[in-house]
Protein backbone atom coordinates (compact mmCIF):
# COMPACT_ATOMS: atom_id res chain seq x y z
CA UNK A 1 0.00 0.00 0.00
CA UNK A 2 1.15 3.52 -0.79
CA UNK A 3 1.94 5.84 2.07
CA UNK A 4 2.59 9.55 1.93
CA UNK A 5 6.11 10.82 2.44
CA UNK A 6 5.08 11.83 5.99
CA UNK A 7 4.26 8.19 6.70
CA UNK A 8 0.57 9.05 7.09
CA UNK A 9 -1.77 6.84 5.11
CA UNK A 10 -4.96 8.44 3.65
CA UNK A 11 -7.05 5.48 4.78
CA UNK A 12 -6.39 6.50 8.39
CA UNK A 13 -7.96 9.87 7.62
CA UNK A 14 -11.00 8.18 6.07
CA UNK A 15 -11.29 5.97 9.13
CA UNK A 16 -11.22 8.97 11.46
CA UNK A 17 -13.69 10.88 9.27
CA UNK A 18 -16.05 7.91 9.42
CA UNK A 19 -15.68 7.60 13.17
CA UNK A 20 -16.07 11.31 13.88
CA UNK A 21 -18.65 12.31 11.27
CA UNK A 22 -20.49 9.38 9.70
CA UNK A 23 -20.93 7.20 12.79
CA UNK A 24 -22.59 9.98 14.87
CA UNK A 25 -24.89 10.83 11.93
CA UNK A 26 -25.78 7.17 11.57
CA UNK A 27 -26.41 6.86 15.31
CA UNK A 28 -28.56 9.99 15.32
CA UNK A 29 -30.57 8.59 12.42
CA UNK A 30 -31.21 5.33 14.26
CA UNK A 31 -32.03 7.21 17.48
CA UNK A 32 -34.56 9.38 15.61
CA UNK A 33 -36.06 6.30 14.00
CA UNK A 34 -36.40 4.62 17.40
CA UNK A 35 -38.08 7.71 18.86
CA UNK A 36 -40.43 7.89 15.89
CA UNK A 37 -41.48 4.29 16.46
CA UNK A 38 -41.76 4.92 20.20
CA UNK A 39 -44.05 7.92 19.68
CA UNK A 40 -46.13 5.76 17.35
CA UNK A 41 -46.49 3.18 20.13
CA UNK A 42 -47.61 5.66 22.82
CA UNK A 43 -51.35 5.23 22.04
CA UNK A 44 -51.06 1.45 22.65
CA UNK A 45 -51.46 2.04 26.38
CA UNK A 46 -52.51 -1.55 27.09
CA UNK A 47 -49.09 -2.77 25.88
CA UNK A 48 -47.13 -0.97 28.57
CA UNK A 49 -49.64 -0.14 31.34
CA UNK A 50 -48.27 -2.65 33.84
CA UNK A 51 -44.66 -2.00 32.87
CA UNK A 52 -45.13 1.77 33.27
CA UNK A 53 -46.02 1.43 36.94
CA UNK A 54 -42.96 -0.78 37.58
CA UNK A 55 -40.67 1.64 35.76
CA UNK A 56 -42.04 4.62 37.69
CA UNK A 57 -41.12 2.81 40.89
CA UNK A 58 -37.63 1.94 39.57
CA UNK A 59 -36.93 5.44 38.24
CA UNK A 60 -38.66 7.49 40.92
CA UNK A 61 -39.19 5.76 44.23
CA UNK A 62 -36.02 3.63 44.19
CA UNK A 63 -33.86 6.65 43.25
CA UNK A 64 -35.34 8.88 45.94
CA UNK A 65 -32.90 8.09 48.82
CA UNK A 66 -29.70 8.69 46.84
CA UNK A 67 -31.13 11.82 45.16
CA UNK A 68 -32.16 13.25 48.53
CA UNK A 69 -28.78 12.44 50.06
CA UNK A 70 -26.90 14.12 47.20
CA UNK A 71 -29.26 17.11 47.24
CA UNK A 72 -28.91 17.58 51.01
CA UNK A 73 -25.12 17.64 50.72
CA UNK A 74 -25.21 19.95 47.69
CA UNK A 75 -27.36 22.44 49.58
CA UNK A 76 -25.19 22.16 52.68
CA UNK A 77 -21.94 22.62 50.76
CA UNK A 78 -23.34 25.58 48.82
CA UNK A 79 -24.27 27.25 52.13
CA UNK A 80 -20.84 26.65 53.66
CA UNK A 81 -18.96 27.84 50.56
CA UNK A 82 -21.16 30.90 50.10
CA UNK A 83 -20.63 31.95 53.70
CA UNK A 84 -16.89 31.36 53.29
CA UNK A 85 -16.70 33.53 50.14
CA UNK A 86 -18.96 36.32 51.36
CA UNK A 87 -17.74 36.80 54.90
CA UNK A 88 -17.86 40.56 55.41
CA UNK A 89 -19.66 42.84 57.86
CA UNK A 90 -20.91 44.83 54.84
CA UNK A 91 -22.78 41.91 53.32
CA UNK A 92 -25.99 40.79 55.06
CA UNK A 93 -26.04 37.11 55.95
CA UNK A 94 -29.39 36.75 54.23
CA UNK A 95 -27.45 36.76 50.95
CA UNK A 96 -26.65 33.10 51.67
CA UNK A 97 -30.32 32.19 51.35
CA UNK A 98 -30.63 34.27 48.20
CA UNK A 99 -27.77 32.30 46.62
CA UNK A 100 -28.45 28.77 47.89
CA UNK A 101 -32.15 28.70 46.95
CA UNK A 102 -31.83 29.85 43.31
CA UNK A 103 -28.75 27.62 42.93
CA UNK A 104 -30.78 24.61 43.97
CA UNK A 105 -33.90 25.55 42.03
CA UNK A 106 -32.20 26.70 38.83
CA UNK A 107 -29.24 24.36 38.58
CA UNK A 108 -28.22 21.95 41.30
CA UNK A 109 -31.60 20.34 41.94
CA UNK A 110 -31.97 19.33 38.29
CA UNK A 111 -28.34 18.65 37.38
CA UNK A 112 -27.43 16.65 40.49
CA UNK A 113 -30.60 14.60 40.07
CA UNK A 114 -29.77 14.24 36.37
CA UNK A 115 -26.28 12.91 36.99
CA UNK A 116 -27.54 10.46 39.57
CA UNK A 117 -30.27 9.23 37.27
CA UNK A 118 -27.82 8.96 34.35
CA UNK A 119 -25.60 6.71 36.44
CA UNK A 120 -28.25 4.80 38.29
CA UNK A 121 -31.26 4.61 35.96
CA UNK A 122 -29.53 5.13 32.60
CA UNK A 123 -26.98 2.40 33.22
CA UNK A 124 -29.67 0.09 34.54
CA UNK A 125 -31.91 0.62 31.51
CA UNK A 126 -29.05 0.00 29.07
CA UNK A 127 -27.89 -3.12 30.92
CA UNK A 128 -31.43 -4.49 31.15
CA UNK A 129 -32.32 -3.93 27.50
CA UNK A 130 -28.83 -4.91 26.34
CA UNK A 131 -29.08 -8.24 28.15
CA UNK A 132 -32.56 -8.77 26.73
CA UNK A 133 -31.18 -8.09 23.26
CA UNK A 134 -28.22 -10.47 23.44
CA UNK A 135 -30.29 -13.26 25.02
CA UNK A 136 -32.95 -12.88 22.29
CA UNK A 137 -35.63 -11.81 24.77
CA UNK A 138 -36.43 -8.79 22.59
CA UNK A 139 -36.73 -11.08 19.56
CA UNK A 140 -39.04 -13.29 21.63
CA UNK A 141 -41.29 -10.32 22.41
CA UNK A 142 -41.41 -9.37 18.72
CA UNK A 143 -41.95 -12.99 17.63
CA UNK A 144 -45.02 -13.20 19.87
CA UNK A 145 -46.55 -10.30 17.97
CA UNK A 146 -45.95 -7.66 20.62
CA UNK A 147 -44.41 -4.27 19.84
CA UNK A 148 -41.09 -4.48 21.72
CA UNK A 149 -40.55 -0.72 21.52
CA UNK A 150 -44.00 -0.06 22.93
CA UNK A 151 -43.53 -2.68 25.62
CA UNK A 152 -39.97 -1.84 26.69
CA UNK A 153 -39.05 1.70 25.67
CA UNK A 154 -42.24 3.74 25.94
CA UNK A 155 -42.84 2.99 29.65
CA UNK A 156 -39.21 3.75 30.54
CA UNK A 157 -39.22 7.10 28.75
CA UNK A 158 -42.61 8.11 30.17
CA UNK A 159 -41.45 7.06 33.65
CA UNK A 160 -38.36 9.27 33.23
CA UNK A 161 -40.40 12.27 32.11
CA UNK A 162 -42.98 11.85 34.88
CA UNK A 163 -40.69 10.93 37.78
CA UNK A 164 -37.79 13.32 37.15
CA UNK A 165 -39.84 16.39 38.22
CA UNK A 166 -40.94 14.52 41.35
CA UNK A 167 -37.31 13.80 42.22
CA UNK A 168 -36.37 17.38 41.37
CA UNK A 169 -38.99 18.81 43.73
CA UNK A 170 -37.78 16.50 46.49
CA UNK A 171 -34.15 17.42 45.73
CA UNK A 172 -34.92 21.13 45.93
CA UNK A 173 -36.74 20.86 49.25
CA UNK A 174 -34.11 18.63 50.80
CA UNK A 175 -31.21 20.66 49.34
CA UNK A 176 -32.61 23.96 50.57
CA UNK A 177 -33.47 22.35 53.92
CA UNK A 178 -29.96 20.89 54.19
CA UNK A 179 -28.40 24.25 53.40
CA UNK A 180 -30.61 26.03 55.90
CA UNK A 181 -29.92 23.45 58.62
CA UNK A 182 -26.14 23.44 58.15
CA UNK A 183 -26.16 27.25 58.03
CA UNK A 184 -28.04 27.33 61.31
CA UNK A 185 -26.04 24.59 63.08
CA UNK A 186 -22.71 25.93 61.81
CA UNK A 187 -23.63 29.47 62.84
CA UNK A 188 -23.26 30.84 59.30
CA UNK A 189 -26.80 32.16 59.01
CA UNK A 190 -29.97 31.94 61.07
CA UNK A 191 -33.04 30.25 59.64
CA UNK A 192 -34.89 33.59 59.62
CA UNK A 193 -32.11 35.35 57.67
CA UNK A 194 -31.85 32.43 55.25
CA UNK A 195 -35.59 32.52 54.53
CA UNK A 196 -35.59 36.33 54.20
CA UNK A 197 -32.80 36.16 51.63
CA UNK A 198 -34.54 33.40 49.71
CA UNK A 199 -37.80 35.36 49.63
CA UNK A 200 -36.20 38.65 48.62
CA UNK A 201 -34.64 37.35 45.42
CA UNK A 202 -37.17 34.67 44.55
CA UNK A 203 -38.23 34.69 40.88
CA UNK A 204 -41.46 32.83 40.08
CA UNK A 205 -39.97 31.67 36.76
CA UNK A 206 -37.10 29.86 38.50
CA UNK A 207 -39.06 26.73 39.52
CA UNK A 208 -40.83 26.72 36.16
CA UNK A 209 -37.45 26.74 34.44
CA UNK A 210 -36.31 23.94 36.75
CA UNK A 211 -39.36 21.87 35.83
CA UNK A 212 -38.78 22.43 32.09
CA UNK A 213 -35.21 21.22 32.57
CA UNK A 214 -36.46 18.14 34.38
CA UNK A 215 -38.81 17.15 31.58
CA UNK A 216 -35.98 17.52 29.05
CA UNK A 217 -33.42 15.72 31.24
CA UNK A 218 -35.83 12.88 32.02
CA UNK A 219 -36.47 12.40 28.32
CA UNK A 220 -32.76 12.56 27.39
CA UNK A 221 -31.53 10.13 30.04
CA UNK A 222 -34.17 7.47 29.43
CA UNK A 223 -34.35 7.73 25.63
CA UNK A 224 -30.56 7.73 25.14
CA UNK A 225 -30.16 4.78 27.53
CA UNK A 226 -32.98 2.86 25.84
CA UNK A 227 -31.33 3.50 22.47
CA UNK A 228 -27.97 2.21 23.68
CA UNK A 229 -29.52 -0.85 25.30
CA UNK A 230 -32.00 -1.71 22.54
CA UNK A 231 -29.32 -1.78 19.85
CA UNK A 232 -26.69 -3.63 21.89
CA UNK A 233 -24.58 -6.06 19.86
CA UNK A 234 -22.33 -8.87 21.00
CA UNK A 235 -22.41 -10.64 24.33
CA UNK A 236 -21.40 -9.56 27.82
CA UNK A 237 -18.82 -7.17 26.39
CA UNK A 238 -21.49 -5.48 24.26
CA UNK A 239 -23.74 -5.06 27.29
CA UNK A 240 -20.87 -3.52 29.29
CA UNK A 241 -20.06 -1.16 26.44
CA UNK A 242 -23.70 -0.13 26.03
CA UNK A 243 -24.04 0.49 29.77
CA UNK A 244 -20.98 2.73 29.90
CA UNK A 245 -21.96 4.57 26.73
CA UNK A 246 -25.48 5.13 28.06
CA UNK A 247 -24.23 6.76 31.27
CA UNK A 248 -21.60 8.87 29.50
CA UNK A 249 -23.83 9.96 26.59
CA UNK A 250 -26.69 10.80 28.98
CA UNK A 251 -24.38 13.06 31.03
CA UNK A 252 -22.94 14.77 27.95
CA UNK A 253 -26.34 15.45 26.37
CA UNK A 254 -27.69 16.54 29.74
CA UNK A 255 -24.97 19.18 30.06
CA UNK A 256 -25.54 20.28 26.48
CA UNK A 257 -29.27 20.60 27.06
CA UNK A 258 -28.59 22.49 30.30
CA UNK A 259 -26.59 25.09 28.40
CA UNK A 260 -29.06 25.38 25.53
CA UNK A 261 -32.03 25.76 27.90
CA UNK A 262 -30.23 28.35 30.04
CA UNK A 263 -29.18 30.32 26.96
CA UNK A 264 -32.64 30.29 25.41
CA UNK A 265 -35.01 30.54 28.39
CA UNK A 266 -33.24 32.70 30.97
CA UNK B 1 -48.34 -22.60 4.00
CA UNK B 2 -45.03 -20.76 4.21
CA UNK B 3 -43.11 -19.96 1.07
CA UNK B 4 -39.63 -18.45 0.73
CA UNK B 5 -38.68 -17.21 -2.72
CA UNK B 6 -35.24 -16.18 -3.92
CA UNK B 7 -34.22 -14.80 -0.52
CA UNK B 8 -31.00 -12.77 -0.34
CA UNK B 9 -29.46 -11.30 2.79
CA UNK B 10 -26.10 -9.73 3.58
CA UNK B 11 -24.75 -8.11 6.73
CA UNK B 12 -22.40 -5.36 5.54
CA UNK B 13 -19.84 -7.25 3.42
CA UNK B 14 -20.84 -10.71 4.62
CA UNK B 15 -23.23 -12.51 2.29
CA UNK B 16 -25.37 -14.90 4.33
CA UNK B 17 -28.26 -15.98 2.11
CA UNK B 18 -27.94 -16.19 -1.67
CA UNK B 19 -31.28 -16.94 -3.26
CA UNK B 20 -33.02 -19.37 -0.92
CA UNK B 21 -36.23 -21.04 -2.12
CA UNK B 22 -38.32 -23.12 0.27
CA UNK B 23 -41.89 -24.30 0.75
CA UNK B 24 -43.32 -25.57 4.02
CA UNK B 25 -46.68 -27.28 3.72
CA UNK B 26 -49.45 -27.28 6.30
CA UNK B 27 -48.96 -29.84 9.09
CA UNK B 28 -45.48 -31.03 8.07
CA UNK B 29 -42.29 -30.92 10.13
CA UNK B 30 -39.39 -29.53 8.15
CA UNK B 31 -35.81 -29.62 9.41
CA UNK B 32 -33.51 -26.91 8.07
CA UNK B 33 -30.05 -28.40 8.36
CA UNK B 34 -26.58 -27.13 7.67
CA UNK B 35 -23.25 -26.32 9.26
CA UNK B 36 -22.90 -23.63 11.91
CA UNK B 37 -22.82 -20.23 10.21
CA UNK B 38 -24.52 -21.47 7.05
CA UNK B 39 -27.44 -19.05 7.50
CA UNK B 40 -30.09 -21.37 9.01
CA UNK B 41 -31.02 -19.09 11.92
CA UNK B 42 -30.99 -16.05 9.63
CA UNK B 43 -33.43 -17.87 7.35
CA UNK B 44 -35.65 -18.68 10.33
CA UNK B 45 -35.68 -15.04 11.44
CA UNK B 46 -36.80 -14.03 7.94
CA UNK B 47 -39.70 -16.48 8.12
CA UNK B 48 -41.14 -14.60 11.09
CA UNK B 49 -40.15 -11.15 9.83
CA UNK B 50 -37.52 -10.44 12.48
CA UNK B 51 -35.10 -9.67 9.65
CA UNK B 52 -35.83 -7.86 6.40
CA UNK B 53 -34.44 -9.48 3.25
CA UNK B 54 -32.27 -7.54 0.82
CA UNK B 55 -34.39 -9.08 -1.92
CA UNK B 56 -36.83 -11.96 -2.28
CA UNK B 57 -40.15 -12.77 -0.65
CA UNK B 58 -41.47 -14.63 2.38
CA UNK B 59 -45.17 -15.41 2.26
CA UNK B 60 -47.26 -16.83 5.09
CA UNK B 61 -50.63 -18.16 3.93
CA UNK B 62 -50.17 -16.20 0.72
CA UNK B 63 -49.36 -12.88 2.45
CA UNK B 64 -45.98 -11.28 1.69
CA UNK B 65 -44.86 -10.43 5.23
CA UNK B 66 -42.41 -7.78 4.04
CA UNK B 67 -45.05 -5.88 2.11
CA UNK B 68 -47.54 -5.39 4.94
CA UNK B 69 -47.77 -2.90 7.81
CA UNK B 70 -46.07 -3.58 11.14
CA UNK B 71 -49.49 -3.97 12.79
CA UNK B 72 -50.48 -6.64 10.24
CA UNK B 73 -47.12 -8.38 10.65
CA UNK B 74 -47.70 -8.54 14.40
CA UNK B 75 -51.11 -10.14 13.81
CA UNK B 76 -49.49 -12.77 11.58
CA UNK B 77 -46.78 -13.40 14.19
CA UNK B 78 -49.49 -14.36 16.69
CA UNK B 79 -49.93 -17.55 14.63
CA UNK B 80 -46.34 -18.50 15.41
CA UNK B 81 -44.66 -19.97 18.44
CA UNK B 82 -40.88 -19.65 18.51
CA UNK B 83 -38.39 -21.59 20.60
CA UNK B 84 -35.15 -19.61 20.56
CA UNK B 85 -31.73 -21.19 20.84
CA UNK B 86 -31.15 -20.08 24.43
CA UNK B 87 -34.83 -20.29 25.40
CA UNK B 88 -35.11 -16.48 25.64
CA UNK B 89 -37.18 -16.72 28.80
CA UNK B 90 -37.83 -13.37 30.46
CA UNK B 91 -35.40 -13.54 33.36
CA UNK B 92 -37.35 -11.08 35.49
CA UNK B 93 -40.39 -13.40 35.51
CA UNK B 94 -41.09 -16.79 37.06
CA UNK B 95 -41.69 -19.82 34.84
CA UNK B 96 -45.43 -19.41 35.41
CA UNK B 97 -45.40 -15.76 34.36
CA UNK B 98 -43.29 -16.57 31.31
CA UNK B 99 -45.84 -19.09 30.07
CA UNK B 100 -48.73 -16.82 31.10
CA UNK B 101 -47.22 -13.80 29.34
CA UNK B 102 -48.74 -14.37 25.86
CA UNK B 103 -52.06 -15.37 27.42
CA UNK B 104 -52.23 -12.19 29.50
CA UNK B 105 -51.11 -10.08 26.54
CA UNK B 106 -53.24 -11.44 23.74
CA UNK B 107 -56.31 -13.01 25.34
CA UNK B 108 -59.03 -11.85 27.67
CA UNK B 109 -58.76 -14.98 29.84
CA UNK B 110 -59.37 -14.70 33.57
CA UNK B 111 -56.51 -15.54 35.94
CA UNK B 112 -58.25 -18.86 36.75
CA UNK B 113 -58.30 -19.82 33.07
CA UNK B 114 -54.71 -18.64 32.61
CA UNK B 115 -53.67 -20.73 35.60
CA UNK B 116 -55.30 -23.82 34.05
CA UNK B 117 -53.70 -23.30 30.61
CA UNK B 118 -50.25 -22.63 32.09
CA UNK B 119 -50.43 -25.81 34.15
CA UNK B 120 -51.54 -27.79 31.09
CA UNK B 121 -48.63 -26.40 29.06
CA UNK B 122 -46.10 -27.14 31.79
CA UNK B 123 -47.44 -30.69 32.08
CA UNK B 124 -47.23 -31.05 28.31
CA UNK B 125 -43.49 -30.35 28.51
CA UNK B 126 -43.22 -32.66 31.52
CA UNK B 127 -42.36 -29.92 33.98
CA UNK B 128 -45.17 -29.72 36.50
CA UNK B 129 -44.10 -28.02 39.70
CA UNK B 130 -41.57 -25.54 38.29
CA UNK B 131 -44.04 -22.67 38.00
CA UNK B 132 -42.60 -20.66 40.88
CA UNK B 133 -38.98 -21.08 39.77
CA UNK B 134 -37.11 -18.26 38.07
CA UNK B 135 -35.30 -19.08 34.79
CA UNK B 136 -31.93 -18.76 36.55
CA UNK B 137 -32.96 -21.62 38.86
CA UNK B 138 -33.59 -23.99 35.92
CA UNK B 139 -31.12 -26.09 33.94
CA UNK B 140 -30.59 -25.41 30.22
CA UNK B 141 -32.88 -28.25 29.21
CA UNK B 142 -35.60 -27.17 31.64
CA UNK B 143 -35.37 -23.59 30.36
CA UNK B 144 -35.93 -24.83 26.82
CA UNK B 145 -38.94 -26.87 27.92
CA UNK B 146 -40.48 -23.87 29.73
CA UNK B 147 -39.78 -21.80 26.62
CA UNK B 148 -41.51 -24.49 24.58
CA UNK B 149 -44.50 -24.32 26.95
CA UNK B 150 -44.60 -20.56 26.38
CA UNK B 151 -44.34 -21.04 22.61
CA UNK B 152 -47.37 -23.35 22.52
CA UNK B 153 -49.49 -21.50 25.10
CA UNK B 154 -51.54 -19.70 22.43
CA UNK B 155 -51.88 -22.90 20.37
CA UNK B 156 -50.03 -21.52 17.34
CA UNK B 157 -50.40 -22.89 13.81
CA UNK B 158 -46.66 -22.73 13.23
CA UNK B 159 -43.81 -23.48 15.62
CA UNK B 160 -40.23 -22.52 14.84
CA UNK B 161 -37.43 -24.20 16.74
CA UNK B 162 -33.95 -22.67 16.61
CA UNK B 163 -31.37 -25.33 17.54
CA UNK B 164 -33.69 -26.95 20.12
CA UNK B 165 -31.13 -29.54 21.24
CA UNK B 166 -27.89 -27.57 21.06
CA UNK B 167 -25.89 -27.57 24.27
CA UNK B 168 -27.98 -30.34 25.82
CA UNK B 169 -26.90 -33.81 26.90
CA UNK B 170 -28.09 -36.71 24.68
CA UNK B 171 -30.81 -37.81 27.08
CA UNK B 172 -32.30 -34.31 27.41
CA UNK B 173 -31.98 -33.89 23.62
CA UNK B 174 -34.04 -37.03 23.13
CA UNK B 175 -36.65 -35.72 25.58
CA UNK B 176 -36.86 -32.45 23.62
CA UNK B 177 -37.16 -34.37 20.34
CA UNK B 178 -39.99 -36.46 21.80
CA UNK B 179 -41.71 -33.31 22.98
CA UNK B 180 -41.47 -31.72 19.55
CA UNK B 181 -42.85 -34.89 18.02
CA UNK B 182 -45.73 -35.17 20.47
CA UNK B 183 -46.58 -31.46 20.17
CA UNK B 184 -46.73 -31.83 16.40
CA UNK B 185 -49.08 -34.77 16.79
CA UNK B 186 -51.22 -33.28 19.57
CA UNK B 187 -51.57 -29.77 18.20
CA UNK B 188 -51.29 -30.65 14.49
CA UNK B 189 -48.95 -27.72 13.89
CA UNK B 190 -46.55 -26.97 11.09
CA UNK B 191 -43.05 -27.16 12.55
CA UNK B 192 -39.79 -25.77 11.26
CA UNK B 193 -36.73 -27.03 13.11
CA UNK B 194 -33.39 -25.34 12.53
CA UNK B 195 -30.66 -27.73 13.59
CA UNK B 196 -27.37 -29.33 12.75
CA UNK B 197 -28.21 -32.35 14.88
CA UNK B 198 -29.00 -35.21 12.47
CA UNK B 199 -30.23 -37.33 15.35
CA UNK B 200 -33.06 -34.82 15.86
CA UNK B 201 -33.74 -34.63 12.14
CA UNK B 202 -34.21 -38.37 11.82
CA UNK B 203 -36.38 -38.49 14.94
CA UNK B 204 -38.80 -35.68 14.24
CA UNK B 205 -38.75 -34.41 10.65
CA UNK B 206 -40.89 -35.34 7.65
CA UNK B 207 -38.64 -33.39 5.31
CA UNK B 208 -35.21 -31.77 5.40
CA UNK B 209 -33.73 -28.77 3.63
CA UNK B 210 -29.94 -28.49 3.53
CA UNK B 211 -28.52 -24.96 3.51
CA UNK B 212 -24.94 -24.77 2.33
CA UNK B 213 -22.96 -21.53 1.88
CA UNK B 214 -26.15 -19.45 1.91
CA UNK B 215 -27.90 -21.51 -0.76
CA UNK B 216 -30.59 -24.17 -0.62
CA UNK B 217 -28.34 -27.02 -1.64
CA UNK B 218 -30.75 -29.91 -1.23
CA UNK B 219 -34.36 -30.51 -0.11
CA UNK B 220 -36.40 -33.67 0.17
CA UNK B 221 -38.02 -36.24 2.43
CA UNK B 222 -36.10 -38.13 5.10
CA UNK B 223 -36.23 -41.28 2.94
CA UNK B 224 -34.68 -39.30 0.06
CA UNK B 225 -32.06 -37.94 2.44
CA UNK B 226 -30.93 -41.49 3.23
CA UNK B 227 -30.66 -42.33 -0.46
CA UNK B 228 -29.12 -39.08 -1.69
CA UNK B 229 -25.69 -39.36 -3.31
CA UNK B 230 -25.01 -35.61 -3.10
CA UNK B 231 -21.43 -35.44 -1.87
CA UNK B 232 -21.73 -32.29 0.22
CA UNK B 233 -24.90 -33.51 1.90
CA UNK B 234 -23.42 -36.95 2.50
CA UNK B 235 -20.33 -35.39 4.06
CA UNK B 236 -22.52 -33.36 6.43
CA UNK B 237 -24.64 -36.41 7.34
CA UNK B 238 -21.56 -38.62 7.67
CA UNK B 239 -20.05 -36.17 10.17
CA UNK B 240 -23.11 -36.84 12.33
CA UNK B 241 -23.08 -40.60 11.89
CA UNK B 242 -21.08 -41.39 14.97
CA UNK B 243 -23.85 -39.69 16.91
CA UNK B 244 -26.65 -41.64 15.31
CA UNK B 245 -24.91 -44.98 15.41
CA UNK B 246 -24.62 -45.74 11.71
State whether A145 and B74 contact (CB < 8 Å): yes
Within a domain: residue A223? yes
Within a domain: residue A151? yes
Within a domain: residue A103? yes
Confidence of residue A35 (pLDDT cuts 50, 70, 90): very high
A10: part of which helix (H) or strand (E)? Answer: helix A10-17
Partners of B194 on chain A (C-beta within 8 Å) are: none
Give me the number of domains chain A comprises: 1
ipTM value for the complex: 0.90
Within a domain: residue A148? yes
Within a domain: residue A34? no
> Would you say residue A32 has pLDDT above 50?
yes
Residues of chain A in Cβ contact (below 8 Å) with chain B: 47, 131-132, 135-137, 139-140, 142-147
Give me the number of domains chain B comprises: 1
The region that residue A218 occupies, defined by phi over 0 for left and psi between -120 and 50 for alpha, beta otherwise, is alpha
- pLDDT for res B20: 92
Nearest chain A residue to B48, by CA: A143
Confidence of residue B246 (pLDDT cuts 50, 70, 90): very low
Q: Nearest-CA distance from B234 to chain A in Å? A: 33
Within a domain: residue B22? yes
Partners of B88 on chain A (C-beta within 8 Å) are: 135-137, 139-140
Cβ(A73)–Cβ(A104) under 8 Å?
Answer: no
Task: Give the residue-averaged pLDDT of A83-92.
Answer: 81
Cβ(A53)–Cβ(A156) under 8 Å?
Answer: no
Partners of B91 on chain A (C-beta within 8 Å) are: 131, 135, 137
Q: What percent of chain A has pLDDT above 90?
A: 76
> Would you say residue B132 has pLDDT above 90?
yes
Sheet containing B29-33: give its strands across: B80-83, B158-162, B190-195, B29-33, B207-212, B215-221
**The whole model's pTM is what?**
0.87
Sheet containing B63-64: give its strands across: B14-24, B2-11, B55-60, B63-64
Confidence of residue B192 (pLDDT cuts 50, 70, 90): very high
Within a domain: residue B181? no
Within a domain: residue B71? yes
- pLDDT for res B60: 94
Within a domain: residue B1? yes
Within a domain: residue B188? no
Full residue range of the structural domain in which residue B226 is found: 1-79+196-246
- pLDDT for res B237: 83
Partners of B74 on chain A (C-beta within 8 Å) are: 145-147
Within a domain: residue A22? no
Partners of B14 on chain A (C-beta within 8 Å) are: none
Name which residue leads in pLDDT, B173 or A31.
A31
B4: part of which helix (H) or strand (E)? Answer: strand B2-11
Within a domain: residue B151? no
- In this predicted model, what pLDDT tens digit does every residue of B232-244 receive, in sequence order? 888 888 877 644 4
Who among B70, B88, B101 is closest to A139 (CB)?
B88
Q: Nearest-CA distance from B182 to chain A in Å? A: 22
State whether B105 and A144 contact (CB < 8 Å): yes
d(CA B67, CA A95): 67
Cβ(B150)–Cβ(B100) under 8 Å?
Answer: no
For the beta carbon of residue A36, count every other beta carbon within 10 angstroms: 11
Who among B74, B82, B106 is closest to A147 (CB)?
B74
Q: Nearest-CA distance from A249 to chain B in Å? A: 26
Full residue range of the structural domain in which residue A80 is found: 50-265
The set of residues, in sequence order, having a beta carbon less than 8 Å from that of A264 and lying 6+ positions away, is none
Within a domain: residue B155? no
Who among A131, A139, A144 is closest to B102 (CB)?
A144
Amino acid sequence: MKTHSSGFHPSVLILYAKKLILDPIHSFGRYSQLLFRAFGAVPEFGTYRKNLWEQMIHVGIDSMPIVMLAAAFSGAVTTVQTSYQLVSPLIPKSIIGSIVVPSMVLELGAVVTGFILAGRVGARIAAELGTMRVTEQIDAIEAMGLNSIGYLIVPRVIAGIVMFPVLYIAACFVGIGGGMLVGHIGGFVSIGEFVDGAREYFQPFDPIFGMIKCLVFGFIITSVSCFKGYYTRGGAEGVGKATTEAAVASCVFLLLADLVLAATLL
Amino acid sequence: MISVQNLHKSFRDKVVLQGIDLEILEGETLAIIGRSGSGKSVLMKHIIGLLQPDSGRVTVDGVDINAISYADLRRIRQNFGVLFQGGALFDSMSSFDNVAFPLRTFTSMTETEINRVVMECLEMVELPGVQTKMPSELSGGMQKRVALARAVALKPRYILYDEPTSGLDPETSTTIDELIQSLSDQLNVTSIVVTHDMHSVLNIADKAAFVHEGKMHWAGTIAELHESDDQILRRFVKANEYLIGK
